[in-house]
């Protein structure tokens, strides 16, 4: 085999490497191996061949480095960063160097339960080194110890570099012996022996120190024994005292818990009673509020009645003035009625009837006014009673607030008692302290509990008083409700009477207006014009339908009726523009059939079918 000059051989064989069996070497970022590079070692001899500077020696250095070599001069470097790829023109520098060596352990030459052993070493630019054994982080000592037990260590000449053979041949006898011992693998045991001897020497020194300490403290053993005896006696007495205190405090604790349960039950009962009374108070307040609202409604109704009464008074005064005017006109009408003697008895009868009805309306209105005055007096009495009721309710509310404050004080005292019991519980848990002080605390707690009993008894008495007041208020409320019902019925009756008086007054006013129109002097038209009369003189209205028909016709009742169209035109020509007349020619009126009445039970019929006219004047209707 022809080789280039200055070629380096790296030989791996069973003669030079007795037990180590390489299987694979993976380099990444180590020196010149920037990319991941894998070397497979098959059986036999493996040679790495290449020119100078191609990195042949770096492969051997990587094997030495992964096995734990710490001398950077042996690895042809100065520091950890020299083991990491420094970069080139085309590739940046690496941040980590990694070398992984895989060993075949099928025959168990390594004392580990794996058929393959993978040793990995990593170096970072921060100077840190990391070791992994089958993917698990380990210490350098663990790897060195594993390899040393198998005869493969740092100084076992597993890797023979250049010049080492010449150096071995020139060694002295003692140095050669050391070389053979290292190659034979007994250096590991020598190191263990040295470590053991060093530990034995340290043990001897520690024994001497212990002996000195014993000789120093021996004179004080008697005093220490007496002190220990006293300490044991004190500890026994202290234990007995703690046991007795625990029993005593437990007894007091159970008593306090029992009393506290009783006080809490009493407080709970008082609170329930207070809540019940409070609910009843709220219900009463709602009832009072409803009564206040009803009273407000009654006041509004009273104001409305007062307004109606004032209106009735005004209308009554107006009716009286109108009656006076009618009386003044009656004298004038008597002279005019002499000319129409045929209708005078009927008009006088109607006037008398209207006067009688008007007088009845005035009497009814006076009665209504008297009833309103009496009702107002009763309302004032009712209002005074209501104000008195309000005063009593405010007084009762103040008492309820006082009772509420008392119950809150009771609750605060119970809360203070709970706090004191909690402090006592902490003291019992610590199992220490002065027994006399704890007794004083319990005595104080019992006194406060008795005081709470008195407060609860007072609260119970106040609750009974409040119940009595509540019963009295309920009776007053029933009386108030009955008075309100009576007042409402009276007001309803009064309202009906006022409405009736209003209706009657309106009816009488309508009749008075109609009579005024009928008593109006006849129009003086001329010597050659004949006027039959006014419309009211030719129609008869049933009494049950008189008011609605009179309201519907109103001014048309004074319409003049003439016998012919010539008379109608003559009247129109002679009347001035300032006078207004409603003229109706007897020939202009044509009888018409009334339309069918609406299908409604509330409709009586058409007014034209209910009014009767004199003979010859039926078409007018």
Token digits of residue 447: 């006194």
List the structure tokens of 358.
């008007």
Dihedral sign for Cα 485, 490, 492, 495, please.
negative
Query: How much is the pLDDT for 14?
Result: 28
* Tokens describing residue 257: 């818990």
What's the rounded Cα separation, in Å, for the pair 215 and 217? 6
For residue 564, count CB atoms less than 10 angstroms from its CB and return exposed for 0-12, middle for 13-18, buried for 19 or more. middle
pLDDT the model gives residue 8:
33
Which whole-number Å values give the CA distances from 598 to 98, 481, 595, in the listed order?
Answer: 116, 48, 9
Residues 556, 620: Cα–Cα separation, whole Å: 12
Q: Are 338 and 397 members of one domain?
A: yes
Q: Are residues 310 and 438 in the same domain?
A: yes
Asked if the structure places residue 318 within a domain, the reply is yes
C-alpha distances (whole Å) from 589 to each of 167, 223, 571, 617 are 166, 155, 18, 9
On the CB side of 546, CA atoms within 13 Å amount to 17
Both 263 and 288 in one domain: the answer is: yes
pLDDT along the chain (621 residues), means of 10: 33 36 91 91 83 86 88 84 90 93 88 91 94 93 83 62 71 79 71 88 93 85 86 92 92 92 88 84 80 79 77 74 68 56 57 66 67 65 64 64 65 62 58 50 60 62 65 68 70 68 65 54 50 67 69 62 66 47 44 57 66 66 60
Q: Assess if residue 308 is contained within a domain.
A: yes
Report the phi/psi class of residue 284: left, alpha or beta, with left for phi > 0 and alpha for psi in -120 to 50.
alpha
Do 257 and 174 fall within a single domain?
no
Q: If DSSP codes are grouped into helix, strand and coil, which group holds residue 160? A: coil
- At 232 the pLDDT is 92
Whether residue 245 is found in the same domain as residue 340: yes
> Do the Cβ atoms of 537 and 343 come closer than 8 Å?
yes
Domain boundary among 518, 541, 570: 518
Nearest to 343 by CA among 513, 508, 522, 512: 522
Q: Say yes or no: 414 and 338 in one domain.
A: yes
Is position 194 within any domain? no
CA distances from 234 to 202, 222, 227 (A): 41, 18, 10
Would 213 be classed as within a structural domain? no
CA distances from 566 to 499, 538, 586 (A): 50, 21, 11
* Residue ending a domain, choose from 518, 543, 562: 518
Domain boundary among 518, 542, 569: 518
Task: Look up the domain containing 148 and give its range.
Answer: 22-185
Position 582 scores a pLDDT of 42
Same domain (yes/no): 261, 409: yes
Q: Is 46 helix (H, G, I), strand (E, B) or coil?
A: coil
Edge to edge, the sheet with strand 37-40 lists 37-40, 22-28, 96-104, 116-124, 129-133, 136-138
Tell me whether residue 195 is in a domain: no
Please spell the DSSP secondary structure of 475-524, one letter per residue: HHHHHHHHHHHHHHHHHHHHHHHHHHHHHHHHHHHHHHHHHHHHTSPPP-
Under DSSP, is residue 223 helix (H, G, I), strand (E, B) or coil? helix
- 419 three-state secondary structure: helix
- Distance (Å, whole) CA 227 – CA 236: 14
Q: If you write DSSP's letter for every residue of 105-123 in order, what string do you get?
A: -TT--SSSS-SEEEEEEEE
- Decide if 238 is inside a domain: yes
CB 59 within 8 A of CB 48: yes
Q: Is the dihedral of CA 41, 45, 50, 53 positive or negative?
A: positive
CA angle (439 as vertex; 434, 444 as ends), nearest 5: 130
Q: How far apart are CA 144 and CA 152, in angstroms?
A: 9
Same domain, 139 and 73: yes
Assess if residue 31 is contained within a domain. Answer: yes
Residues 464 and 589 occupy one common structural domain: no
Specify the pLDDT at position 27. 95
Residue 226: helix, strand or coil by DSSP? helix
> Domain containing 79 — which CATH number?
3.40.50.300
Give phi and psi for 28, each to the nearest 5. -155, 120
Q: CA 156 to CA 188: how far, in whole Å?
A: 10
The CATH code of the domain that includes 334 is: 1.20.1270
Residue 521: predicted pLDDT: 43
DSSP character for 30?
A: B
Give me the helix-helix angle, 344-430 and 435-518, nearest 10°. Answer: 170
Which has the closest alpha carbon to 484: 283, 286, 292?
A: 292
| Domains in the chain, number | 3
247 and 167 inside one domain: no
Would residue 1 count as lying in a domain? no
Name the residue among 11, 17, 36 with its Cα closest to residue 26.
36
Are 540 and 484 part of one and the same domain? no
Is 611 found in the same domain as 506?
no
> Distance (Å, rounded) from C-alpha 110 to C-alpha 19?
9
């Amino acid at each position: 085999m022809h080789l280039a000059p200055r070629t380096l051989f790296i030989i791996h064989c069973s003669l030079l490497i007795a037990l180590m069996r390489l299987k694979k070497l993976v380099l990444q970022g180590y020196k010149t191996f920037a990319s991941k590079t894998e070397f497979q070692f098959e059986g036999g001899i493996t040679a790495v061949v290449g020119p100078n500077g191609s990195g042949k020696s770096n492969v051997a250095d990587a094997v030495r480095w992964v096995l734990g070599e710490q001398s950077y001069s042996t690895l042809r470097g100065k520091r950890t960063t020299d083991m990491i790829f420094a970069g080139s023109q085309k590739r940046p520098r690496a941040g980590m160097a990694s070398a992984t060596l895989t060993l075949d352990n099928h025959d168990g030459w390594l004392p580990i339960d794996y058929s393959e052993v993978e040793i990995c070493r990593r170096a970072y630019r921060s100077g840190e080194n990391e070791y992994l054994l089958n993917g698990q982080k380990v210490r350098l000592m663990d790897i060195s110890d594993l390899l040393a037990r198998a005869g493969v260590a740092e100084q076992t000449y597993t890797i023979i570099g250049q010049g080492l053979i010449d150096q071995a041949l020139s060694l002295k006898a003692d140095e050669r012996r050391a070389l053979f011992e290292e190659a034979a693998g007994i250096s590991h045991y020598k190191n263990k022996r040295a470590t053991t001897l060093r530990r034995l020497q340290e043990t001897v020194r520690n024994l001497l120190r212990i002996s000195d300490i014993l000789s120093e403290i021996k004179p004080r053993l008697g005093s220490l024994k007496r002190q220990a005896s006293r300490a044991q006696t004190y500890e026994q007495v202290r234990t007995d005292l703690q046991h007795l205190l625990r029993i005593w405090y437990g007894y007091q604790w159970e008593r306090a818990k029992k009393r506290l349960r009783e006080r809490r039950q009493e407080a709970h009962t008082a609170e329930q009673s207070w809540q019940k009374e409070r609910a009843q108070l709220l219900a009463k307040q709602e009832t009072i509020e409803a009564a206040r609202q009803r009273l407000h409604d009654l006041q509004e109704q009273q104001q409305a009645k007062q307004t109606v009464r004032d209106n009735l008074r005004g209308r009554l005064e107006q009716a009286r003035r109108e009656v006076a005017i009618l009386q003044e006109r009656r004298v004038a009408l008597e002279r005019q009625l002499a000319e129409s003697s045929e209708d005078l008895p009927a008009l006088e009868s109607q006037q008398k009837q209207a006067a009688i009805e008007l007088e009845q309306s005035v009497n009814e209105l006076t009665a209504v006014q008297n009833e309103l005055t009496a009702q107002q007096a009763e309302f004032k009495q009712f209002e005074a009673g209501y104000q008195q009721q309000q005063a009593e309710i405010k007084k009762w509310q103040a008492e309820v607030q006082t009772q509420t404050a008392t119950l809150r004080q009771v609750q605060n005292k119970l809360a203070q008692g709970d706090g004191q019991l909690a402090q006592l519980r902490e003291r019992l848990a610590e199992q220490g302290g002065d027994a006399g002080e704890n007794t004083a605390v319990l005595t104080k707690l019992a006194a406060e509990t008795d005081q709470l009993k008195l407060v609860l008894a007072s609260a119970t008495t106040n609750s009974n008083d409040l119940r009595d007041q509540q019963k009295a208020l309920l009776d007053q409320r029933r009386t108030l409700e009955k008075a309100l019902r009576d007042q409402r019925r009276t007001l309803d009756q009064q309202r009906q009477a006022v409405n009736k008086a209003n209706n009657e007054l309106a009816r009488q006013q309508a009749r008075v207006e109609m009579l005024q129109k009928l008593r109006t002097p006849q129009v003086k038209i001329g010597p050659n014009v004949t006027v039959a009369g006014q419309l009211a003189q030719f129609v008869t209205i049933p009494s049950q339908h008189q008011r609605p028909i009179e309201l519907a016709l109103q001014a048309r009742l004074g319409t003049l009726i003439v016998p012919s169209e010539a008379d109608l035109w003559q009247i129109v020509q002679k009347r001035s523009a300032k006078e207004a007349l409603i003229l109706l020619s007897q020939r202009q009126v044509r009888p018409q059939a009334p339309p069918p009445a609406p299908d409604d039970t509330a409709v009586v019929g058409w007014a034209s079918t209910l009014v009767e006219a004199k003979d010859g004047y039926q078409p007018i209707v």
